[in-house]
Amino acid sequence: MILVFLGYMASGKSTVGKHVAEILNYSFIDLDTYIEEIEKMKVKDIFETKGEIYFRKIEHTYLKDIINEQKNCVLSLGGGTPCFYDSVDWLNTINNVKTIYLKASIDVITNRLVNDTIRPLISHLKSKEEIKEFIAKHLFERSFFYNKAQIKLNTTNLSIKEISEKILLELF
C-alpha cells in the first residue's frame, strides 16, 4: 500500500509521514526532496529560475513515477501538488493508494511558518499578520482539493503519536 499525505505546507505531512513509515516498516519519500535530488536544485531555486509552471509539470511527472514504482511506501506531497493535474482524483482511483489529508489550523500553520524563509510561496512575506492572511486565503483556495482525500484528519492539538495512531486505526 502507498499512503499519500497531503495538506498545506507545515501541516505535518513529512513529520507524521516519517513516523507512520517507521511504524509500518515502509519506505518514506518526501516529494519535494525527491525532486530536489533529481533536479539537483532546491524547490525554491526551481521556482525562481524556471517558474511555477515548470515546477508543477515535473512535480506531476515525478509523482506518477513514484506511484508506479513503489509498493509499501509513505509519500508526503508538496502543499500544492493536489491542486494541479487532477492529482487527488487520479490517486484516489488507484487500488493500492490511500490519500490522507492532514488538516492543521491556520494559527498552527502560521506559528510554524512565521520564521520560515525557504518556502517560495511565502518567502516575500514579512509579518506574522501577512503570513496568516496569505495562509487563510490559500487554504480557502486549496481546501477543495485537500478534502478529496479518502481520509481527513484534523491534527490541531494532536501529537505526532496521536495523529499516527488515528491514521493507523482508519487504515486497519
- Residues at the binding site for substrate are 32, 56, 79, 142
Q: Is the CB of residue 147 less than 8 Å from the CB of residue 99?
A: no
- What sections of the chain are H helices per DSSP? 13-24, 31-39, 43-69, 87-92, 106-113, 128-146, 160-171
CA–centroid distance for 3 within its chain = 12
Q: Are the beta carbons of 81 and 31 closer than 8 angstroms? A: yes
> At which residue does the C-alpha cell 489529508 appear?
101
Cα separation, 91 vs 82, in Å, equals 9
Separation between Cα atoms, residue 100 and residue 74, nearest integer Å: 10
Over its C-alpha atoms, the chain yields an Rg (Å, rounded) of 15
Name the binding residues for ATP. Answer: 10-15, 119
Binding residue positions: 10-15, 32, 56, 79, 119, 142
Cβ count within 10 A of residue 57: 14
Binding-site residue set for Mg(2+): 14
